[in-house]
Amino acid sequence: MPRSVDPDARRAAIADAVERIAAREGFAAVTVRAVATHLGASTSAVTHYVRSRDELIGLAVERVVTARREQVEAAVAGLPPGPALRALLEWVVAGPGEAAHRFWLAMVTGAQEDAVLRAELDGFNAWWDGVVGRLVAGAPEAAVLADAVDVVVDGLVVAGFEGVAPWPPQRRRAVIDAVLGPLLGDL
Amino acid sequence: MPRSVDPDARRAAIADAVERIAAREGFAAVTVRAVATHLGASTSAVTHYVRSRDELIGLAVERVVTARREQVEAAVAGLPPGPALRALLEWVVAGPGEAAHRFWLAMVTGAQEDAVLRAELDGFNAWWDGVVGRLVAGAPEAAVLADAVDVVVDGLVVAGFEGVAPWPPQRRRAVIDAVLGPLLGDL
């Protein structure tokens, strides 16, 4: 590699490539070779920064998971429970976008076969459950409401891919209002 | 191939292999070679029955889509709208099982890159929208209720994969009651 290449920029480009490949084809398609091809580089130009497929996946997934946590924390910061849950749902509707949703779904489906994904997802989910758990704590049936939030979030993500075009935000918001509105009113 | 091999049984074994590979690794991993390896057969033993990767995928997906349609039709047959929608949701909770859910999610995520999957999924979704559309027709906000049913169905499917163990049926039913119970009461 030429000395003028910024290592952080190179790592970011590698992580970008992993995100694109996984979002499009799933994690089974993420290999050192596929990333090198995507970047128009040699495999050794990739392994100079990540020594294995696990490290490659870890690099990209850790970056995404950290960004998601920061985005969720920023969305709910300083709000009381009801508005915070609405802000969380609005972030799902308007925030990450389709490629990010596809990447996330690739993580969820890939975690069955991949220990790195499983560990990252378990860590995120434990944190997410804590955030949602605190927000629903005052509801009459807190555990069911927390599950309902998870089902609606996941369902909105998947429903975006089922047709040829993703659902517009207003269509997603109407579903949130219809199915969670009455429950959020209790908070 | 030996003449004693039943062609229908052979096609079924090929479709089974596609289902298992796609459910575990996604459709990017479904190739003639991967199916042959899975069956302990040569690639020509597979291409004797399916001449291309598209035909391979079509064989398996058509079989699954047909089975899903028949199962849904059997679940709702003869019921008025409200109980029919509940029966449809109960089929999602207790019916196809985790491997079938994983296969379905692989279809949804794979349809972006694969025209065969896209066409099969579009056909199924048009049929599904017709079934759900007829069942919700009497509701005050029929279109939103139809979307809500789709979001809850998709969300229940994905929520089953997020933890290490799938949610037990009772946990899924509690979510359905909480988020769709009041809306189904209108029917």
Please count the residues of chain A: 187
Task: Give dist(CA A69, CA B83) in Å, integer.
Answer: 40
- How far apart, in whole angstroms, are the C-alpha atoms of residue A26 and residue B110? 8
Q: CA of B173 to nearest chain A CA: how many angstroms apart? A: 10
Mean pLDDT confidence for B150-157: 95
Q: pLDDT tens-digit profile of B91-102?
A: 999 888 889 999
Min distance B4 CA to chain A CA atoms (Å): 36
> Which residue of A lies nearest to B108 if distances are taken between CA atoms?
A162
pLDDT score at B174:
96
Q: How near does any CA of chain A get to the CA of B48, in Å?
A: 27
A151–B155 CB contact, under 8 Å: yes
For B30-40, how does the pLDDT look when each residue is reduced to its tens digit (9 = 90+)? 999 999 999 99
Residue B122 contacts A, CB cutoff 8 Å: yes
Note the pTM of the prediction, 2 decimals: 0.92
Check pLDDT > 90 for residue B144: yes
Collect all residues of chain A within an 8 Å Cβ-Cβ radius of residue B152. 151-152, 155, 179
> Which residues of chain B have a CB within 8 Å of the CB of A102?
109, 112
**Angle in degrees, CA A123, A128, A130, rounded to 5:** 100
Mean pLDDT in residue range A40-45? 95
How high is the pLDDT of residue A4?
A: 57
Q: pLDDT-derived band of residue A1, with 50, 70 and 90 as boundaries?
A: very low
- Dist CA B180 CA A148 (whole Å): 10
On whether any CB of chain B is under 8 Å from the CB of A145, the answer is yes
The answer, for A154 touching chain B at a CB cutoff of 8 Å, is: yes
Ranges of beta strands (E only) in chain B are none
Q: Is B105 a residue whose pLDDT tops 80? A: yes
Q: Which of B129, B119, B122, B140 is nearest to B88 (CA)?
A: B129
Say whether residue A137 is in contact with chain B using an 8 A CB cutoff: no
**Residue A157 near residue A105 (C-beta atoms within 8 A):** yes
How many CB atoms lie under 10 A from the CB of residue A35?
A: 26
Contact: A147, B171; criterion CB under 8 Å: yes
The predicted pLDDT at position A160 comes to: 81
Judged against a pLDDT cut of 60, whether residue B160 lies above it is answered with yes
Question: Residues 62..91 of A with a Cβ closer than 8 Å to B: which?
Answer: none
Cβ-Cβ pairs closer than 8 A, A with B, add up to: 139
CA B99 to centroid of chain Cα atoms: 10
Mean pLDDT, chain B, rounded, equals: 92
Q: With contacts defined as CB-CB under 8 Å, which chain A residues touch B167?
A: 147
The per-residue pLDDT for range A125-165, each reduced to its tens digit, is: 999 999 999 999 999 999 999 999 999 999 999 988 887 78
The pLDDT score that the predictor gives to residue B1 is: 47
**Average of pLDDT values for B51-71?**
96
- Substitution target in A109, A121, A153 with the highest count of B β-carbons within 10 Å is A109
**Do the Cβ atoms of B28 and A109 come closer than 8 Å?**
no
Cβ–Cβ gap B108/A159 under 8 Å: no
Tell me the mean pLDDT in the region B14-21. 97
Q: Report the pLDDT value the prediction gives residue A21, as an integer from 0 to 100.
A: 96
* Residue range A2-11: mean pLDDT, rounded: 79
Say yes or no for a CB contact (<8 Å) between A26 and B28: yes
d(CA B106, CA B96): 15
CA distance B34 to B18: 9
Tokens of B134: 């007829």
CB-nearest partner of A109 from B105, B144, B145: B105
Q: Could you read off the pLDDT of A77-124 as tens digits, one per residue?
A: 999 999 999 999 999 998 888 899 999 999 999 998 899 999 999 999
Segment B117-133 shows an average pLDDT of 95
Flag whether residue A155 sits within 8 Å of chain B, measured between CB atoms.
yes
pLDDT of residue B150: 96
What is the pLDDT, as a whole number, of residue A70?
Answer: 96
First CA to last CA across chain A, in angstroms?
Answer: 56
Q: Which chain A residue shows the shortest CA-CA distance from B117? A: A162
